[in-house]
């Protein structure tokens, strides 16, 4: 069970730490693959990440993954043009041409191109003229941003256009400052273009500096050192994990469990498991840090890597917040249950039952709070995912259909959950009750969210789903009782004398301790129930405290048998009169 818990915890944290990174990396790689033929030329893109602000659709323009400016597009009902996110991606592609000229071929195409060039050179056919489709900047300078300057010019439509001016090259149009951008920022378009120029120029030069071979080599060296240190720490944790196994064996030998164990020994025996859980959390944290550092080293993924680096801390903060709320709610529930237990309007007869139900409600409420805390933590994690926040109306409909399918698939669990709530609200049974469910009879030892556990007479533990409880008999709710049947022989001298002997023994039994404290009412002689060929059936009804009926029934049966034997009143199928002792005292 402990290993399953550790494995489940590892899977949940791994999904939390690494799955969002893969989604973000896929998004970034998809954006980097988009190409442009103008300042905001045609391209294919999906509307992801844009949000609505008033009557404008806005989106961020990033340089190396870091937001630089925000562009806007008017929201029109009949508009078929590009949205803000598409416009931002096109501007990013134009800016990327200045500091990281893209390669438009895939890896296999680059290898094929290299093989063809080598083949041509070996045959003397390669004149090294022109350029290939896989290297559109081969004849350019090593870095296009050498001597980079940005300028704002007016277009034919009267809108400012930011151009990149490089030595020996024609100006490159980067973006157009539209009226929507000016209205959103609340300043004229010309002033906004100047602000954007001042913002973009140092960021482009900084991006070019980061991508220089010397700077890239330093980044890789620091990254390698950090990864080596983390790998060494990871190895130390794995060694510590192996040590805990021997530690556990030694504690099992030195600190026995049970009533004879010393104070605090059970806590020490659980210490290796706590250390293992801490090791698992530390390993996941190290792996997350290594993944974050590797992501930060990728050009354009610094912001995403920083997000990955901060995500474990945010996750721990969320866990602490949910845990604090869980502790507060558990304390409130305990206080309310204690006040309910100490209610003054409860009769003395119902007070033991209320204490019994209090234990059940306290245990089940703790489980419900734990389940709710886990669900809240998962939902909070999903809400923070960017892809989750970008779900559209069609996505919500698809999600609703998926939820409906899950509800249909797990309808048995939902039925068990609702039936369990009904059991608790109607107080059908509680922990400690002796019940019959169909052909099963046993003591209730646990009531869960979906099922209950019963311990039978032969000490078997039976688990019954709440939805399967159709017919239930509770023998110990509030009070208990038993019906004692005596089959008297037809050879008895006087039936009235037999009834008098039985009644005298019942009165004597009801006045003696400790039996009288366990009886709710004196035993009731129900006289003759039936007369049949086997004998004369006489019954006695006793009402006892909850769970005391079996011991009182056993004692009373022994007393009645002895009393009848002393009075020479035969039971059915008993010995002949001559073998019985004569009565010691005449009974009128």
Q: Is 154 helix (H, G, I), strand (E, B) or coil?
A: strand
At 256, list the tokens: 């026995």
Contact 538, 529 (CB under 8 A): yes
Q: Which candidate, 70, 84, 85, places its Cα nearest to that of 31?
A: 85
pLDDT attached to residue 81: 53
H helix or E strand, kind and range, residue 375:
helix 351-384
Q: Which of 455, 454, 453, 447 is nearest to 421 (CA)?
A: 447
Q: Which of 312, 253, 255 is nearest to 288 (CA)?
A: 312
Residue 469 in 3-state DSSP?
coil
Partners of residue 542 on adjacent β-strands = 482
**Owner of token pair 């805390």:** 373
What is the model's pLDDT at position 103? Answer: 62
Strands, E, within 81-190: which ranges? 149-154, 160-165, 172-176
Kindly state the DSSP code that residue 494 receives in the 8-state scheme: -
What order of strands is seen across the sheet that includes strand 434-437? 461-465, 451-455, 440-447, 434-437, 472-474
Q: Contact at 8 Å (CB) between 545 and 479? A: yes
Give the pLDDT confidence of 485-498 residue by residue, as tens digits: 888 888 888 888 88
Kindly report the pTM of this predicted structure: 0.49
Write the CB contacts of 179 (distance below 8 Å, at least 6 apart in sequence): 159, 189
Phi, psi for 238 (deg, rounded to 5): -65, -40
CA 162 to chain CA centroid, Å, is 50
Supply the pLDDT for residue 177: 92
What's the token pair of residue 83?
């949205």
Phi/psi at 79 (5° precision) = -80, 135
pLDDT of the residue at 66: 84
What distance in Å separates the CA atoms of residue 103 and residue 135, rounded to the nearest whole number?
6
Q: What are the CA-CA distances from residue 573 to residues 446, 487, 492, 564, 576 (Å)?
A: 45, 9, 12, 14, 9
How far is residue 333 CA from its own chain's centroid? 22
Residue ranges of the chain with per-residue pLDDT less than 70: 1-54, 76-82, 101-104, 122-133, 135-146, 245, 248-272, 384-403, 406-407, 409, 574-588
- Return the ∠ at Cα 481 (arms to 476 and 487), rounded to 5°: 140
* pLDDT of 264: 47
DSSP states of 242-256: HHHHHHHHHHHHHS-
End-to-end, the C-alpha distance of the chain in Å comes to: 71
pLDDT attached to residue 433? 87
Residues 6+ apart with CB under 8 A from 440: 454, 456, 462, 464
* Per-residue pLDDT tens digits for 187-232: 999 999 999 999 998 988 888 887 777 777 887 888 889 889 988 9
Domains and CATH numbers, the chain: 33-106+138-210 (no CATH), 413-474 (2.30.30.60), 479-579 (3.30.70.100)
Helix/strand/coil for 166: coil
- Give the angle 460-463-465 at the CA atoms, nearest 5°: 160
């Amino acid at each position: 069970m402990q290993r399953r818990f550790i494995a489940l915890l590892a899977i949940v944290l791994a999904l939390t730490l690494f799955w969002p990174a893969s989604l973000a990396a896929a998004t970034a790689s998809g954006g980097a693959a988009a190409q442009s033929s103008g300042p905001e030329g045609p391209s294919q893109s999906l509307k992801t990440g844009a949000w609505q602000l008033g009557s404008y659709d806005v989106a961020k323009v990033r340089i190396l993954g870091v937001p630089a400016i925000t562009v806007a597009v008017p929201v029109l009902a009949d508009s078929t043009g590009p949205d803000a996110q598409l416009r931002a991606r096109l501007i990013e592609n134009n800016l990327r041409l200045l500091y990281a000229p893209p390669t438009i071929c895939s890896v296999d195409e680059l290898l094929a191109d290299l093989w063809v060039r080598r083949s041509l050179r070996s045959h003397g056919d390669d004149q090294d003229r022109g350029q290939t489709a896989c290297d559109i900047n081969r004849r350019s300078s090593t870095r296009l941003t050498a001597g980079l300057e940005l300028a704002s010019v007016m277009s034919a439509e009267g809108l400012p256009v930011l151009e990149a001016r490089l030595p020996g090259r024609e100006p490159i149009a980067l973006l157009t400052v539209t009226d929507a951008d000016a209205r959103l920022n609340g300043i004229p378009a010309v002033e906004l273009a100047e602000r954007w120029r001042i913002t973009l120029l140092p960021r482009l030069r900084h991006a070019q500096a980061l991508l220089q071979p010397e700077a890239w080599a330093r980044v890789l060296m620091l990254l390698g050192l950090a990864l080596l240190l983390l790998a060494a720490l990871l190895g130390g944790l794995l060694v510590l994990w192996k040590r805990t196994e021997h530690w556990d064996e030694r504690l099992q030998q030195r600190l026995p469990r049970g009533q004879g164990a010393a104070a605090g020994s059970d806590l020490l025996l659980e210490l290796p498991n706590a250390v293992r859980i801490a090791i698992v959390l530390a390993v996941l944290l190290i792996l997350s840090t290594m993944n974050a550092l590797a992501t930060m080293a990728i050009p354009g993924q610094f912001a995403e890597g920083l997000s990955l680096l901060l995500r474990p801390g945010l996750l721990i903060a969320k866990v602490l917040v949910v845990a604090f709320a869980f502790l507060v709610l558990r304390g409130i529930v305990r206080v309310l249950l204690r006040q309910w237990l100490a209610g003054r309007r409860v009769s003395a007869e119902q007070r033991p039952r209320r204490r019994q139900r209090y234990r059940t409600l306290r245990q089940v409420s703790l489980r419900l709070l734990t389940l709710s805390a886990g669900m809240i933590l998962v939902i909070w994690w999903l809400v923070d995912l960017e892809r989750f926040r970008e779900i559209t109306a069609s996505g919500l409909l698809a999600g609703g259909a998926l939820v409906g399918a899950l509800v249909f698939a797990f309808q048995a669990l939902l039925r068990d959950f609702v039936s369990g709530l009904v059991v608790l609200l109607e107080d059908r049974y509680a922990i400690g009750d002796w019940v019959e469910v169909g052909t099963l009879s046993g003591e209730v030892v646990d009531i869960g969210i979906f099922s209950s556990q019963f311990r039978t007479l032969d000490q078997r533990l039976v688990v019954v789903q709440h939805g399967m409880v159709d017919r239930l008999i509770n023998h110990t709710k509030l009070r208990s009782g038993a019906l004692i049947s005596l089959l008297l022989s037809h050879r008895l001298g006087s039936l009235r004398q037999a009834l008098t002997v039985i009644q005298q023994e019942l009165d004597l039994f009801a006045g003696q301790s400790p039996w009288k404290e366990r009886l709710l009412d004196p035993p009731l002689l129900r006289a003759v129930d039936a007369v049949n060929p086997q004998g004369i059936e006489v019954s006695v009804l006793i009402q006892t405290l909850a769970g005391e009926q079996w011991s009182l029934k056993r004692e009373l049966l022994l007393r009645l048998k002895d009393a009848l034997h002393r009075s020479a009143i035969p039971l059915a199928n008993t010995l002949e009169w001559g073998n019985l002792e004569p009565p010691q005292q005449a009974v009128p």
